[in-house]
Structure 1
Amino acid sequence: MKPLLFINKLYNKLSKTNIKLSFSQSGEDSIILFLIRSLKITQVQYFDIGTNDPRNMNNTYILYLNGFRGICVEPDPFFHKQIKKYRPGDVLIPKGVAVEQQDKATFYVMDDPLLNTFSPQEAEKLVNTHHREIRKVLSVELIAINTIFEQYFKEDHCSVLSLDVEGLDLVILQSIDFSRFKPSIICVENIEYSENLTGKKDSFINEVLLEQGYILYADTYINSIFIDSNFLKK
């Protein structure tokens, strides 16, 4: 058992409480883990698209601590060593996800790494509207999300897709071939950036996933968690 889980379990036993570990921005990982445990699922894989920090503000680290493994897709070289150090059992893909048929794209590294983006419109908005700063501009290799699924998607597993790519979440979701690859659980950021949590929600993300047979299971305002209705029936 991982030290963090052991300490958490021991503390709960001694204090007779039920405090849960969470590394997500708003407890999304706790909701996902609750679903997995409630449905008594033992085979889980995850696709962490836009991993960023592999532990802090991360939706899949709690799954890693519980013995599950998956794919971390992260274009920022700054986080590659951390992913390899803290999640050596995961597969690291040091690329961005292509939204068009191209091999490379410009990646904007912001003053807050959580805001890093491939979208020039998003980067411009962050600078001009929210007074953020572009620290670096990198040329990064890309890979299509369906190519990732072709290589790693396991039909006999519960697949969790965590998607956070600052401005391109909808486009990536629309590019998924759901007839071939259908993640069981999808956690996606669907609110535009704002410092006071007044950003506009992207209703189109809900529409796309509802049309694909998903139901909205939970919403933390920042992220929405969907579950495949057919997966629930199984």
Structure 2
Amino acid sequence: MTGHRDQWFGGRTYAQHGDDLAVLNIFHRLGIEKPSYLDVGAYHPFTLSNTALLYERGSRGINVEPNETLFAEFVKARPEDANILSGVAPICGRLPFHHVAADPGRFTFDLATAKTLGIVHSVDMPVMTLNQIVDCWCKGIWPDLLTIDIEGLDIDVLQDADFGDNPPRVVIVEADNGSGDTSHELDALMHAKGFTLHSWCGSNMIFVRVADADRIW
């Protein structure tokens, strides 16, 4: 099936739960046809990607992926994006990146999560904070979309982030990676940062700015 001509956003989704179609609808409501993005724990340029469909439709952004093999795929397939070989954490420096007995998408800097999955080996990798990435690659201006999936450190990284006066318009964050449901904590954290829950897509929560909510619903 190739989709129908009257489908506004096409007949294809790359995201695990159709998150990309939901996001395109939100940005359409906001009048943003080519939203910029910061994809943290980007995994793969197309497979299970929340941003591949946006790239295909003309958006550009930043992909952050610490797995060297997966990162190489971004360099080849998404050359017009900024691609960063690094982890993201509440600190800047180096941390052990744990390769586990699971899909590479589950590799993590979070030791507790890694232990539950079975550590195969660990490699020291550079890590940056979200604000360092935005300062260095976006001149301090947050992209329209922040999507984050880093297997256990999501809340710590978001807690550390300073969104300032111009935060992302939409934030996607994994609330349950099989290690436990963090949705209540995430909801409280994002509410404190000026966001409200728009919807769930599978195990991901989609948040929008409170100030934008009336334009979307």
- Say if 1:41 and 1:158, in contact at 8 Å, map to a contact too: no
Q: 1:180 to 1:135 in 2, by over 3 A?
A: farther
Structure 1 vs Structure 2 CA RMSD: 2.4
* Aligned counterparts, 1:35-184, within 5 A: 35-100=26-91, 102-110=92-100, 111-127=102-118, 134-153=119-138, 159-184=144-169
Q: Distance in 2 between matches of 1:163 and 1:124?
A: 21
Q: 1:142 to 1:25 in 2, by over 3 A?
A: same
Deviations 1:61-96 (A, max 9, x none): 111001000000110001122101111110011011
- Say if 1:158 and 1:183, in contact at 8 Å, map to a contact too: yes
Q: Could you say which residue in structure 2 is the equivalent of 1:204?
A: 185
Higher Rg of the two aligned structures: 1
Q: Distance in 2 between matches of 1:99 and 1:107?
A: 14
AA partner of residue 177 (structure 1): D
> When the two structures are aligned, how many residues end up with a matched partner?
213
Structure 2: gaps (5+ residues): none
Q: 2:22 aligns with which of 2, 11, 31?
A: 31
Deviations 1:164-203 (A, max 9, x none): 0000000000011122551110000011316xxxx53431
AA partner of residue 120 (structure 1): L
Q: Could you tell me the percent identity over the aligned residues?
A: 28
Q: Does 1:229 align with 2:210?
A: yes
AA partner of residue 98 (structure 2): Y
Q: 1:164 to 1:212 in 2, by over 3 A?
A: same
Q: Is 76-85 or 180-189 further displaced after alignment?
A: 180-189
Structure 2 length-normalised TM: 0.88
Q: Could you say which residue in structure 2 is the equivalent of 1:12?
A: 4
Q: 1:158 to 1:107 in 2, by over 3 A?
A: closer
Cα shift at 1:20: 2.5
Deviations 1:13-51 (A, max 9, x none): 3xx777621111111111001111232213521000001
AA partner of residue 140 (structure 1): M
Q: 2:201 aligns with which of 220, 225, 228?
A: 220
Q: Distance in 2 between matches of 1:104 and 1:112?
A: 23
Q: Distance in 2 between matches of 1:44 and 1:148?
A: 18
Structure 1: gaps (5+ residues): 1-6, 128-133
Extract structure 1 runs of 4+ deviating beyond 3 A: 16-19, 152-158, 231-234
Q: Secondary structure at the match of 1:227?
A: strand
